[in-house]
Amino acid sequence: MESPPAPPGAEAMQMPEASGDYAPRRVLFTGGAGFIGSNVLIYFVQKYPEVFFLCLDNLSEGANLLNLDPIRGARNFLFVEGDILCSKAVRRVLADHQLDTVMHFAAQTHVDRSFVVPMKFTEVNAMGTAVLLQAARECRIRRFLHVSTDEVYGENVHGHIFSETDGFRPMNPYSASKAAAECIVHGYVESFGRDLPIVVVRPNNIYGPRQYPEKLIPKFILRLQRQQRLPLHGGGSARRSFLFVEDAAKAFDFVLRKGIPGEAYNIGAEPGSTKTVIQVAKALMPFFDIDTDSADSHLEVVADRVRNDASYDVESTKISELGWSPSVTFEEGLQRTVEWYLQHPSHWKSVEAALRADNGAPTPTAAL
Ligand SMILES: NC(=O)c1ccc[n+]([C@@H]2O[C@H](COP(=O)([O-])OP(=O)(O)OC[C@H]3O[C@@H](n4cnc5c(N)ncnc54)[C@H](O)[C@@H]3O)[C@@H](O)[C@H]2O)c1
């Protein structure tokens, strides 16, 4: 049967879902007080005032409530302190607030710390994901976005660039716990995917404002500010692809709305954003008036991580077919990041412990 002609203006009034895109209405954001979660949450709360967002976070490692200052008091946003490991608490927020979508960021994320407390990483990252999936299933969630990582593939070998069909070969307790989480996700996709549509993102290394200074770029910025030398694990030859957090937020938005349930999407940085740690260190120095000639005297080689993957190059054809591509160059992203840290000197109460060159050993290295 032919459908009747659309009334004038109907096209403009169409909801995104009518065009085939998924349109969330009430979203649970886990880990929204952390680095990526807060940036993505701010982006979503401001871009979609008609959608309600509830952040569930237990304010542990990486979290800072000040990260959420830009949306404090927003009518479409609520913060709830709670643990994703508590299935009762998770089910309660999903049911009480009639949520229909989950965006899952909460995790233990610091690779260096994963060598010291691997069980904690397994518990939060794998078990926490399992708790959320089961609660989401029971509460009839309409879409679940799981935030994984490029690290699940392990490091590149013989120049092979990872695509979504590659297997997992995680090399450290952090990436192993994220791979375990993805295996649990995969089990739910295969067994319950018709009722619980799940999409997965595997982004490159993400950087930008609001990242706790235990991580590479903010650690280097704050150490340069304090006129401290920059520690290079094993000489700084490890290479990473750096994706600016605003580009990541847009990518998550694309995958949530346009991604095919059951599919995973790599999110790669633009080619000019692939840098060795030593290149990152040197790119930051001009912001602190350190010239090329004296750069080496501001660097310090320290013991390498227990395990340090050489690189995680991924190809992202699949997400580019959804219409996304990164737009912030490494130079612009770095400038915006440095400016943010310089403008927010009191964002974290005490960062001295975070600024150590922690390589996963139980005690800090003597070099610092
Ligand atoms: N940072 C990166 O470069 C990167 C790259 C790829 C993927 N990821 C993934 O992105 C996600 C977010 O990473 P991030 O860098 O923002 O981390 P982060 O450490 O800055 O934030 C993690 C957040 O999770 C919360 N959290 C931890 N355990 C919790 C629990 N049991 N219950 C509730 N909340 C809990 C913390 O309080 C914190 O707010 C993680 O899943 C991480 O694996 C990160």
Going from the Cα of 107 to the center of ligand 1, the distance in angstroms, rounded, reads 4
- Please name the residue whose Cα sits nearest to atom 26 of ligand 1: 106
Tokens for 313, please give them. Answer: 């190059």
- Please name the residue whose Cα sits nearest to atom 41 of ligand 1: 105
Q: Ligand 1, closest atom to CA 206? A: 3
Tokens for 285, please give them. Answer: 């120095």
Domain membership flag for residue 223: no
Domain membership flag for residue 260: yes
Question: Residue 59: its pLDDT value, please?
Answer: 98
Q: Tokens 């404090």 belong to which residue?
A: 72
Domain membership flag for residue 14: no
For residue 166, what is the enclosing H or E element? none
Nearest to 24 by CA among 15, 37, 12: 15
Domain membership flag for residue 3: no
Domain membership flag for residue 360: no
Could you tell me where the DSSP H helices lie in the chain? Answer: 10-13, 35-47, 87-96, 111-114, 118-121, 128-138, 173-192, 216-225, 245-258, 277-284, 317-322, 330-343
Q: Do the Cβ atoms of 106 and 153 come closer than 8 Å?
A: no
Nearest to 125 by CA among 143, 142, 104, 139: 104
Going from the Cα of 139 to the center of ligand 1, the distance in angstroms, rounded, reads 24
Nearest to 303 by CA among 215, 230, 234: 234
Going from the Cα of 111 to the center of ligand 1, the distance in angstroms, rounded, reads 12
Strand order of the β-sheet with 77-81 is: 77-81, 52-57, 26-30, 101-104, 143-147, 198-203, 264-267
Q: Which residues form ligand 1's pocket by a CB distance below 6 Å? A: 30-31, 33-37, 57-63, 83-85, 105-107, 109, 124, 128, 147, 149, 178, 203, 205-206, 212
Question: Residue 19: its pLDDT value, please?
Answer: 64
Q: Is 236 helix (H, G, I), strand (E, B) or coil?
A: coil
Nearest to 179 by CA among 138, 223, 226, 126: 126
Nearest to 115 by CA among 303, 242, 368: 303
Q: Please count the helices (runs of H) and the strands (runs of E) in the chain.
A: 12, 12
Question: Residue 254: its pLDDT value, please?
Answer: 98
Report how far residue 362's alpha carbon sits from residue 350's, in angstroms, rounded to the nearest whole number.
Answer: 20
- Please name the residue whose Cα sits nearest to atom 34 of ligand 1: 57
Going from the Cα of 31 to the center of ligand 1, the distance in angstroms, rounded, reads 6
Report how far residue 326's alpha carbon sits from residue 347's, in angstroms, rounded to the nearest whole number.
Answer: 28
The phi and psi torsions of 351 (rounded to 5 degrees) equal -120, 0
Q: Which of 28, 29, 30, 36 to mutate to test the pocket of ligand 1 (most atoms within 8 A of CB)?
A: 36
Going from the Cα of 2 to the center of ligand 1, the distance in angstroms, rounded, reads 49
Domain membership flag for residue 108: yes
Report how far residue 220's alpha carbon sits from residue 251's, in angstroms, rounded to the nearest whole number.
Answer: 27
Question: Residue 358: its pLDDT value, please?
Answer: 67
Domain membership flag for residue 106: yes
- Please name the residue whose Cα sits nearest to atom 6 of ligand 1: 149
Tokens for 337, please give them. Answer: 């990041």
Q: Which of 28, 35, 39, 59 to mutate to test the pocket of ligand 1 (most atoms within 8 A of CB)?
A: 35
- Please name the residue whose Cα sits nearest to atom 22 of ligand 1: 34
Q: Is 54 helix (H, G, I), strand (E, B) or coil?
A: strand
Q: Ligand 1, closest atom to CA 85? A: 31
Question: Residue 6: its pLDDT value, please?
Answer: 36
* Segments in the chain below pLDDT 70: 1-19, 358-368
Q: Which domain holds residue 260?
A: 24-212+244-269+308-327
Integer-rounded Cα radius of gyration of the chain: 21
Tokens for 350, please give them. Answer: 């005490």
Number of domains comprising the chain? 1
Q: Which of 38, 39, 60 to mutate to test the pocket of ligand 1 (most atoms within 8 A of CB)?
A: 60
DSSP state of 124: I
Domain membership flag for residue 298: no
Q: Do the Cβ atoms of 45 and 74 come closer than 8 Å?
A: yes
Residue 321: which CATH number?
Answer: 3.40.50.720
Q: Do the Cβ atoms of 335 and 221 come closer than 8 Å?
A: no
Residues recognised as catalytic: 150-151, 174
- Residue 342: partners with Cβ closer than 8 Å, 6 or more residues away: 225
The 10s digit of each residue's pLDDT in 12-21 is: 333 444 468 9
Report how far residue 22's alpha carbon sits from residue 283's, in angstroms, rounded to the nearest whole number.
Answer: 40
Question: Residue 259: its pLDDT value, please?
Answer: 98
Q: Is 57 helix (H, G, I), strand (E, B) or coil?
A: strand
Going from the Cα of 19 to the center of ligand 1, the distance in angstroms, rounded, reads 32
Strand order of the β-sheet with 274-276 is: 205-207, 239-244, 274-276
